[in-house]
Amino acid sequence: MGNGDTPWAANEPVGKSAAAADYRAAQATRSAVVPGDPGDPGLRPTRDEGSFSLTGEMARKLARDQPPDNPGPVPAAPAVTAEWALWGKETSETAYHVLRCSDGVFSRDDFREVITRYASGVRDRLPQYTVCWIPSAQGHHAYLGVAIHELADPDPARSGGRSRIVGGREVEYVRLFCVLYSEMAKFAVSYPNLVELVTGYQLPVGNASPIRIELRAASGRHRTIAAQFRVLAENVAALLLTTRPVCVLGAEGTTAEDRLRFIELVMSLLPYGLRSRLSASTWASSTAQDLKLRLFFANAPRDDGKTSHVTWGQPEPPHLSGEYEAVRLYLEWLRRTGSGAAPALAGMTEPPMRFTRENVYWLVDHLPTDRSVTETLEELAQNLRTADQAAIWTGVERLTRHLTSQDGRFKAIDREACRQVIVRRGMLKRHPALSQDTKEGLYSALLQLAFDTPFTYASYCEVERVVGGPPRGTLRKVLLQLKFSSFMPLLLAARAEPTFRDDDLAAALAQVHVPPTEPIDEVAQLTGKIRPEHRAVAYDFAANYLRSARDAWSELKERGYLAETLNDLFPRDLEAQRTRLMETLRFMYGGPLSQSQIDDLFSDSRLHLTGAFEQAVLSMAASRGAGREIARQAAFARLSNAGFEDEALLLTEGTTERYRPPFRERVRQLPRRTVTTAALFFVIAAFVVYLLVTAAYH
């Protein structure tokens, strides 16, 4: 590679009972912020209006006790091999050079030439990323490279033996990873995915072997970039076909990672084979000399007379003169084809492809026609039956490109067609022959195609129907990474594994200030739509979460002690209602109910009295003989609530006349004249008896 012939291109409840206080204390203990627990800020979920989503770390924590899908050996995932080099300087050195490199096909001089060729000036912020191509020469095939420009991590355990400061100045290190173009093209690997896969390799001293990198699905952030900047990416792709370099301005407030995703979005709108001639960077100096980059970001225009400029967030149509008629036709095809363009172009991998006018004319004459999403799904379903790892990975990548090319839109009719194929072919079921990473990528793509986001309770029920029960294993893990419309589908997905603890989810919801009343109110609103097998899980979690409220006593009374909600959820199961109502009453009042507490319960106008509530109160009454009085109060409450107040009063009076109080109380209630007459009668009778007895003895 060092010769001159190398073919480079230019380019609480508040104190109502001791039980309430004890419960609140227990909740506080469980929710204490301990590193690694859900209360840890690093595990907090995020919440948009009307939706919930967990951070990746929180989702992994909820899946921590999940059993593996495969009881046997885990199949190997598709992989690529990367040559590598580390550029920088040691503590005692003044000049930058290749510190160490792999002992594969490239020499130190080869790596030095690649790194220096694509130098793009001083960077004021790190990290930054560069992507490049290395042509076939000296007996090796063409390679694609990604370079990570960064400072050494302050933690020595994570720095790979590098010094952050040398000679009083921070050192900009470059980690370069090069993969065969043929391997990249076979699996349609994207630049952000490759960077994500190699980031953990710090290249320490001691091992010079090339790195085997197992492929896995990339993060979903790329879809957000695609939705926001699709039109701008189409413009940039067209400008690149003019063979002029393109500079993106005004992106200083954007992360380097999002700039790299934009570069990937642009290249997904060109044949994959053109990556064998692409060099691009997330940042370059506008004053750098002999800049050999086709696409780059900068903070000022480059005054060289040959660079095209676009502004971040301003997708103005490019000015294409008559000499660029083929480019204009290509841009029209991109916009007409929409989401089908990227998957079709990903299949155009055969070099030679170059950024030349002749190649543009050829490209316009050979524009591809892509298979529909449903056709891709059918093919993928067939490959799943044969467990062809490489073909499955390629199919997943094609589906991902369909998704990332939607510009944020996916028609309901398309989604329904995809869902029908996925359901009919059982694609969401377990696939034990696949590697973990392949399964994660597969399930992620299928769920995004079949179901809209935020993920709803109805969608969760459909997933259960398709897989024949609660989603477990890898499918559950992927589900937990979605954005949910409410707590219901999130709870059920988490509870799909028996080892899950409600406390983890409750703490996570509390961290994003989900009101304690929200879950129970949702359950109350959906009672008629919640499947019977989900009702106990949903109610028990929501009721427990409500008890964490600062004034849970008032909230429970406001909702009639949840008697109506329970009656709607378990209309034919009085025992399920009674036991849960007893739990609520025990939480509010502590122990057995006194007569005054029972009076308080039945006199509450917010109570929707049910038979189960009456039985729950009877079960908790302190007096064994309270049943008759409870029945009377229950009858009175039912008549009053039904609008029969007069009849309720008559019932009360009639019940009082039939009621037989103690003897002393009955005597006390007799009129005074009656008592006097009776006493006189007894005195006269006693005197008569005395006279008769006396006469008998004489």
Region 454-469: mean pLDDT is 93
User: Do 456 and 427 meet the contact criterion of CB atoms below 8 Å apart?
Assistant: no
Beta strands in 215-304 (DSSP E): 246-249, 280-281, 295-297
- β-pairing, 143-150 vs 173-180, is antiparallel
Which among 500, 494, 499, 468 is positioned nearest to 482, based on CA atoms?
494
Peptide bond into 245 cis (omega under 30): no
H or E element, residue 657: helix 645-658
Which tokens hold the place of 302? 């480059």
Predicted pLDDT of residue 657: 42
* Phi, psi angle pair for 433, to nearest 5°: -80, -5
Proportion of the chain above pLDDT 70, given as a percent: 81
pLDDT tens per residue across span 158-201: 888 888 888 888 999 999 999 999 999 988 899 999 999 999 99
680 Cβ partners below 8 Å, 6+ apart? Answer: none
Region 120-136: mean pLDDT is 90
Question: Residue 114 carries which side chain, given as an amino acid letter?
Answer: V
Q: Can you spell out the DSSP letters for 539-607?
A: HHHHHHHHTTSTTHHHHHHHTGGGHHHHHHHSTT-HHHHHHHHHHHHHHHH-SSBPHHHHHHHHT-TT-
User: Do 170 and 164 meet the contact criterion of CB atoms below 8 Å apart?
Assistant: yes
Question: Residue 254 carries which side chain, given as an amino acid letter?
Answer: T
Predicted pLDDT of residue 3: 39
688 Cβ partners below 8 Å, 6+ apart? Answer: none
CA–CA distance, 405 with 31 (Å, rounded to integer) = 42
CA–CA distance, 582 with 575 (Å, rounded to integer) = 10
3-state SS assignment for residue 137: strand
User: Do 195 and 189 meet the contact criterion of CB atoms below 8 Å apart?
Assistant: no
Beta strands in 103-172 (DSSP E): 128-134, 143-150, 165-166, 169-170
Q: Name the CA radius of gyration of the chain, rounded.
A: 38
Lowest model confidence (mean pLDDT) among 130-134, 199-203, 248-252? 199-203
Which tokens hold the place of 463? 């997933």
The mean pLDDT of the chain is 83
Which tokens hold the place of 549? 């409220």
User: Do 298 and 284 meet the contact criterion of CB atoms below 8 Å apart?
Assistant: yes
Q: Is 254 exposed, middle or buried (0-12, 13-18, 19+ CB in 10 A)?
A: middle
Which tokens hold the place of 160? 């790979």
Question: Residue 454 carries which side chain, given as an amino acid letter?
Answer: P
CA–CA distance, 660 with 662 (Å, rounded to integer) = 7
User: Does 11 have pLDDT greater than 90?
Assistant: no
3-state SS assignment for residue 671: coil
H or E element, residue 254: none
User: Does 664 have pLDDT greater than 70?
Assistant: no
Which among 549, 546, 548 is positioned nearest to 562, based on CA atoms?
546
Sequence spans of domains, the chain: 79-214, 221-365, 671-697
Predicted pLDDT of residue 683: 85
Which among 389, 399, 480, 487 is positioned nearest to 439, based on CA atoms?
389
- β-pairing, 295-297 vs 246-249, is parallel
Which has more confidence, 390 or 114?
Answer: 114
3-state SS assignment for residue 194: helix
CA–CA distance, 403 with 339 (Å, rounded to integer) = 7
User: Does 222 have pLDDT greater than 70?
Assistant: no
User: Does 512 have pLDDT greater than 50?
Assistant: yes
Half-sphere exposure of 284 (CA within 13 A, CB side): 27
Lowest model confidence (mean pLDDT) among 37-41, 77-81, 507-511, 571-575? 37-41
Predicted pLDDT of residue 388: 83
User: Does 655 have pLDDT greater than 70?
Assistant: no
User: Does 44 have pLDDT greater than 50?
Assistant: no
CA–CA distance, 520 with 543 (Å, rounded to integer) = 6
Q: Can you spell out the DSSP letters for 469-497?
A: SS--HHHHHHHTTSEESSHHHHHHHHTTS
Give me the residue label for tokens 């039904």. Answer: 642
Which tokens hold the place of 227? 């939705």
Region 481-506: mean pLDDT is 88
Note the helical H segments in 108-220: 108-117, 181-187, 191-198
Predicted pLDDT of residue 530: 95
H or E element, residue 64: none
User: Does 608 have pLDDT greater than 80?
Assistant: yes
User: Does 37 have pLDDT greater than 70?
Assistant: no
Which has more confidence, 652 or 549?
Answer: 549
**Domain 221-365: assigned CATH number:** 3.40.50
Lowest model confidence (mean pLDDT) among 52-66, 120-134, 230-244, 614-628? 52-66
